[in-house]
């Protein structure tokens, strides 16, 4: 399992901010995957909200991938399913 996590000084709630963090997380995870010579078939984006709840977004691929652009597109396409509530204070990407 490979994961990366980012915490924020101020909670985020806009689609643009979420997309920016997704690309940072994907970049870090892809670097770790490349170092191990592996690819991911399932990605879980975990959004930790200010109210203490965690919202998960899962995407999968037919074959192992280690392409940050591809992974980023898959996750950004699901941004509209994320309900930030009063804001997201941390995000993690697990594969």
Taking a C-beta distance cutoff of 8 angstroms, is the pair 91, 6 a contact? Answer: yes
- The CATH architecture assigned to 3-94 reads 2-Layer Sandwich (3.30)
pLDDT in tens, 27-57: 999 999 999 999 999 999 999 999 999 999 9
Taking a C-beta distance cutoff of 8 angstroms, is the pair 83, 65 a contact? Answer: no
Domain positions in the chain are 3-94
pLDDT of residue 45: 98
Average pLDDT over residues 4-19: 97
Taking a C-beta distance cutoff of 8 angstroms, is the pair 46, 92 a contact? Answer: yes
């Amino acid at each position: 399992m490979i994961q990366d996590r980012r915490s924020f000084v101020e909670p985020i709630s806009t689609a643009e901010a979420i997309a920016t963090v997704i690309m940072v997380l994907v970049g870090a995870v892809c670097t770790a995957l490349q170092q191990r010579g592996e690819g991911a078939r399932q990605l879980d984006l975990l959004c930790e909200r200010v109210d203490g709840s965690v919202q998960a977004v899962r995407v999968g691929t037919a074959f192992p991938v280690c392409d940050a652009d591809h992974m980023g597109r898959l996750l950004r396409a699901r941004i509209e399913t994320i309900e930030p509530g009063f804001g997201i204070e941390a995000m993690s990407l697990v594969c």
